[in-house]
Every structure is written in C-alpha cells, then in structure tokens.
Chain A
Amino acid sequence: MATVAESTSSVSAKSADKTWAKPSNLENEPRAFKAPSKYRSSLLNGVSKEGPPSLSSKKFKLRYNSPSGLQDAFDVSYAYLRDKSQELYNKIESSNENKTQLEIEAQINNPEVRFNFAYNDKLENDPQYIDYEQPVYRELLKQDWESKDQMLLMQRLEQLHAIPDTLPTFEPKVPVSLKFLNHTTVNRWIEPGTVLSSNVTAYPPSIKIQELEQVDTKTQLYTVLIVNPDVADIANNTYKTQISWGLSNVKLEYNDNFITPRRLLEDDGSINELIDYLPPVPEKNLPTQRFVVWVFRQPAPINVKLTERDFNIREFVKVNSLNAVGAHMWRSTWDLNVSKVRELYGLPKGTVFHKVRGEKRMK
C-alpha cells in the first residue's frame, strides 16, 4: 500500500524545522500565519511533559495525555501538506490566474492558521492572529459563517417575513453583526430577530460588516438601510414601510469595519447620512414591529438626502442599482420606556389602540 510516509519520504519533517511553505518573493510573512509562541511548540512538536499550554489548570495539564502515535502521523501529514502548499505557491508564481483561490488553498491546511482561527475571537478579531486582509482567513470565516450564523439569519428573515416584505429575495454574502454600544446592560451581539426594549434601541446601533470577497476596499462603497415595514397606515387601512436610518458611501476595511457612533462623528464627511436615526417607538396594542437592516454594495456614490420617512425600499434599490449583500433584523414592541424615548427625540405622544380591531369582536 502506498502510504503518506512513502510519498513524502524525500522530505524529512523533523520537529526542528517546521515552517510552512511561502512564496519566494515574500519579504515579510504576515504575522497571522504564525501561531502565538506560547502554543507554537506544543502545536507543531507535540505536547511536552508540562502539558498543553491551552489548559489553564495545572492539575489538568499534568494529567493530560496526548493520543499515542499522533505526533508521528502529524509529522508526516505536515510535511505532505506543506509540499502541496509549496506546489501551489510555485503555481501562483508561474501564472497569475486564479491567484486568490490558490492563495487560499496554499494556507488553508496550515495548522497554525487553523489554530489561530479556531481559538481567537472571529468577530472582534485581532489582526495579529486573525487577519482578514489574508484571503485564507476570509475563507475560514465564510465556512464558519455558513455552518451556522448564515442559516440562522436566513431562517429568521424567512420566518419573520422580512423577505419578501422588504426585499423580494436575498443571497447572503457578507456577515452583518449588530450591537447597541450605548446601552451598558445589553452590550452583546444581537441575534437576528430578537425583541429588544425601546430603551436599548434609543440610540443608533453599531454595525459590523465583514466583507468576505475580494474587493477593492479603497473604492468599494456600501449603503446601510434600516427599514420598518410595520408602521400603521390608518388612512389606507394597511401598514407601510418607513426608513429608520440610512447611511451611504460607507467604506470598509477588511479588519476595520465596525460602524460605531464615534466613527460617524469622527468621519471626514465621506459617509452620507441619508436620514437621521428615528428610534423604534411602537404604539400600544399594535403588532410587534420589525426593523430590518439591509447592507448593499453600491456601484456609484449616493449623495441624496431623504426628507420623508415613508420609504419604498424596492424602488430605492432599483433606482440606485444597489446589490443586497448582507442583512440583520431585530424587533420592537411597546414597553414602558417608549414614552421616555419619545420625549428624548421630541416626538408626539403615541396612540393607544384597541386590542381587538375589526368588525367582529372575539367572543
């Protein structure tokens, strides 16, 4: 039987020289391609007698036993994968075709890269360990996102009818995460579809948009729209869509892409606020309102200002030929804080509707 050992017998992968393949013309290897020095030795050369550094308790460290034979198998596998990776780098140098894909394939089996990605914060990433400038980390994030969060988002958008009530359909390409930074008690990432207190949503959310595909970050602009399709339209006996907040001409870096209030204040005027933030102030006894965050890639700068809240999102998207790439949503319902939020923004007092509307009453 031809084994991995035979096929790579020419290459010795002794514990001493474990360095991953790299292109010949690369001066400075990205820092994120190396595991932190604390873990590097035990990751590549096997867990020493002191136990794995990833365990915190000394008791467990001493008690830990690595599976027998793993080190030998790992040495052979590492050498094999590194050779494959070197072949890919040679291919990149010889031709310029498909460069990003080959770069991903050359690094995706690097145990140090996988270690960095698996055990560091993927959302609030430290570019020292997870550097989204490198296509391999974007690919890993994409796989991670598709394995859970993307499905969760689409399930919520579908179940709560954000599609097709706001936009007809949607192919998610960019993870969008939401946080209300001003509020101390809810300082966490919001799961799509959560019902939030109006106190939490009194100030605009901070939105993190992580681009995954290869784009020119210098020129690519994004639009963010937050729309509420559940505003009562009593005159027409229906509900209408209003825009709660809109930003356009947003530029995003791969590693610096968190749109916070501070960033908006410090902005040099490149970001265009389509309309200022109107917090959710649902009326009493009306159904839960949905607030859908849509993120678009825009082909050209948009410098208009909106004057009216009533908003036709489909028309806006069509006119500006926007491409929906990311979404998020939360829900709001009337609570005791609504009147305070109304006061804060100088809004008129809300209406209290009857619990059961319609010709026939419930018996």
Chain B
Amino acid sequence: MRLTVGGARFFSSTRAAAGKAGCNTVAPVHHTVKIDKNRLSPRFPGLQHSKLDIRHPGYKPTSTYQDRVAEYYSNSVQSDLLLINAQHGESRQPGYKRREWDGSSPFHLNRSLRKPKGSDAETPDIKPHSAANVPKIEAIHINCYVEQAKDNVNHAISALVQLQQITGVKPKPIYSKTNVLHWRVRAGYQMGASVVLKGRPMHQFIATLTEVVFPRIRMFKGVSNKSGDTLGDIQFGLRPDDVKFFPEIEQNQDNWSKTYGFHVNVVTSAQTDAEARTLLSAYGIPFYGSEKGVKPENVEY
C-alpha cells in the first residue's frame, strides 16, 4: 500500500512513518489578500503605521520649503514644452525590434529572434506627443569613480562624503566588478560612490549647478550637443576643479584639499535626446556644438 498519494491524508500513516522529507514547500495561495509580514510581526511596532504617519520611524517631513524649481516647471516650462513638441497628425513610430527569421532553414524554428536592423538592442516606440507625456526631469544619477581608490580606499570614502555634502542624499559606495589587469584593479575594490537624486534634492542640485557652479567654471562652453543615450537621457561630467565651486565645498575648503570629479546622468521622460536638450535648456543648461539633424542656420544659442 502506498502511504501518500498527492496531497491526500491517510489516517494509517503518520508523517514520520510516511517518510516525508522535512522540508518547506510553498503552498499555493487561494485568496487575493496580499500579506505584508512587516505588519504582522510584533517586533517593530513603529513599522505598523503608514510611512505618512509621524509615528513611523521612516517618516520624513518633505514639504518643508518652497520648491521653486518644481514651480518654475509647472508654471512656465511645462506648457511651453507642450507647445514646442505638439504635432498634428502624429502616429506611433515603431522602434527597433527583434526580427523573425525568414524560415529558409529548418534550424530557424527554435532559434532566438534576429537582432534589430541598425541596432544591437531593441528601442521603444516613439509615441505621439500629448498633454500626458510632456518631458520632465525624472532623476539625476551621479556617479563618482575615483581611480586613485585602487591604491588607497580612503579616496573612495572621501568621494562618498563629498557627494553627500553636495547633494544632501546618502550615496552608495560602488565597487569594481571585474579584474582589470593593466589598470591594476581587482574585483571587489571600493572605487567611489554613486547617488540617485529625485524630487526636492534633485531640484536643489539643478539650481546649484546652473546658478552657482556653471557660471564660474573657466572656459565653460556648456554640455555637448552630442551627449545623450538616444532614449532621452543627457550625460555630462564635472572635473575635480569644477566641483570646488559647489558652495558646500567652497565654504569648507580647508577640509576639501582634494575633490573628485563625477559624471552626471540626467534622466528625463523625453522620448528623444533632442527633446531632452530642449527641456534642459529651460533650466539654464547651455549646449554647444552641432546637433544631429539640425542645420547650422537653424541653431539657436
């Protein structure tokens, strides 16, 4: 006689005699109620409140000051951008997609799809412009890779503190991923810091950058018109000397004998780089050089 069949329970066999493995199995869920174990645990009573509740340890008063950058965007930039981008009779432009094989060989049957034509990776469709998809700055990623940190990890720590000073947001350390022999870098070294800015800290950073830092950089031309990842994100870099112009560093020069340059990636919801550049120019970020697809006589500076 078999002791167990599927999930049926037999009176004549206890678990021990049935020789069942004492391992955990995840039973199927029969209901639609999502269970948040944090709420059920008695360990941290503060976590049982919502994050908007002042009793939650993670409660953060955010709207403590006027956000003039956000207001500038919603009061004047947004409607202008809508007008600039609006087009009559637009249709959805499909992006690069992976292609089917033509079926000339029987081996095509289970082969993964062909690469897109003209690109290594798929790109998203470009949707018609509307009031719902006016470009806006979504986040700013700052990445600070310090080459000297391979010899002395103190540089990576200083870079992290520097980013925290400038942005007011806690950065994450970054680590080298692989061994690169001729750079003398090995996997796992702490090599710098990175931070993602959103909301108010992001607006604060943009304002400081365009009003305090950029005007004081010597021979500053602007951000290159060639910068961009084709998906509406614009990148530029700041040199160690430029970083000294951030007021948080400048006011405390004794402690910042050495500063570290970093890369800035401005993530926008624009669908193309050209639209992203138009958006960034509204914040006072100048651009230089020739832009792809724009005739020189049409360039406005």
Does A319 sit at the interface, judged by CB under 8 A?
no
Do residues B17 and A158 form an inter-chain contact, with CB atoms below 8 A?
no
Closest to A150 in B: B33
A238 B33 Cβ-Cβ under 8 A: no
Question: Interface size bucket, B side?
Answer: 20 to 34
Taken residue by residue from 338 to 363, chain A's Cβ proximity to chain B (1 for < 8 Å, 0 otherwise) reads as: 00000000000000000111111110
Query: Given the known A-B contacts A238-B11, A239-B9, A358-B12, are A148 and B66 also in contact in the complex, defined by CB atoms under 8 Å?
Result: no
Which A residues are in CB contact (< 8 Å) with B12? Answer: 237, 357-358
Q: A158-B27, A171-B32 are in contact. Are A358 and B9 (CB under 8 A)?
A: no
- What's the nearest-Cβ distance from chain B to residue A54, in Å? 15
B149 at the interface (CB under 8 A from A): no
A171 contacts which chain B residues (CB < 8 A)?
31-33
Quick check: is A37 within 8 A (CB to CB) of the other chain? no
Within 8 A of B (CB), among A188-239: 232-234, 236-239
Interface residues of B in 9-64 (CB under 8 A from A): 9-14, 16-19, 27, 29-36, 39-40, 48
Contacts of A164 in B (CB 8 A): 30
| Complex contact B31–A158 (CB within 8 A) | yes
Residues A356 and B27 in contact in the complex (CB < 8 Å), given A151-B33, A238-B8: no
Contact, CB under 8 Å: B17 / A361: yes
Are the CB atoms of B27 and A359 closer together than 8 Å? no
Q: How many A-B residue pairs have CB under 8 A?
A: 77
Decide: A362 near B48, CB < 8 A? Known: A169-B30, A234-B11, A357-B11. no
Contact flag A358-B3 (CB < 8 Å), given A152-B40, A237-B11, A237-B12: yes
Contact of B18 among A154, A233, A236, A358 (CB under 8 A): A358
B71 on interface, CB distance cutoff 8 Å: yes
A158 and B29 contact, CB distance less than 8 A: yes
Contacts of A236 in B (CB 8 A): 11
0/1 string, A168-192, CB within 8 A of B gives 1: 1111100000000000000000000
Bound form: Cα–Cα A155–B36 in Å:
10
- CA A271 to CA B109, docked complex, whole Å: 68
Binding site secondary structure of chain B: loop
Residue B294 is within 8 A (CB to CB) of chain A in the complex: no
Q: How far is the CA of A324 from the CA of B35 in the complex (A)?
A: 20
> In the complex the two chains form, is B16's CB within 8 Å of A170's CB?
no
**How far in angstroms is the closest Cβ of chain A from B291?**
35
Restricting to A238-261, which residues have a CB under 8 Å from any CB of B? 238-239
A173 to chain B, nearest CB (A): 11
Query: Which residues of chain B are near A157, meaning CB under 8 Å?
Result: 31
Which positions 138-163 of chain A face chain B at CB distance < 8 Å? 147-148, 150-152, 154-155, 157-159, 161, 163
B1 part of interface (Cβ distance < 8 Å): yes
Name the A residues within 8 Å of B34 (CB-CB): 151
Q: B161: shortest Cβ distance to chain A, in Å? A: 32
Chain A residues with CB under 8 A of B71: 1
Of the A-B pairs whose beta carbons lie under 8 Å apart in the complex, a sample of 12, sorted by A's number, is: A148-B40, A151-B40, A158-B31, A164-B30, A171-B31, A171-B32, A236-B11, A358-B3, A358-B14, A360-B19, A361-B17, A362-B17
7 shortest interchain CB distances as A-B pairs: A358-B17, A358-B13, A169-B30, A154-B33, A362-B16, A151-B35, A163-B30
Measured CB to CB, the residues of A under 8 A from B are: 1, 147-148, 150-152, 154-155, 157-159, 161, 163-164, 168-172, 232-234, 236-239, 355-362
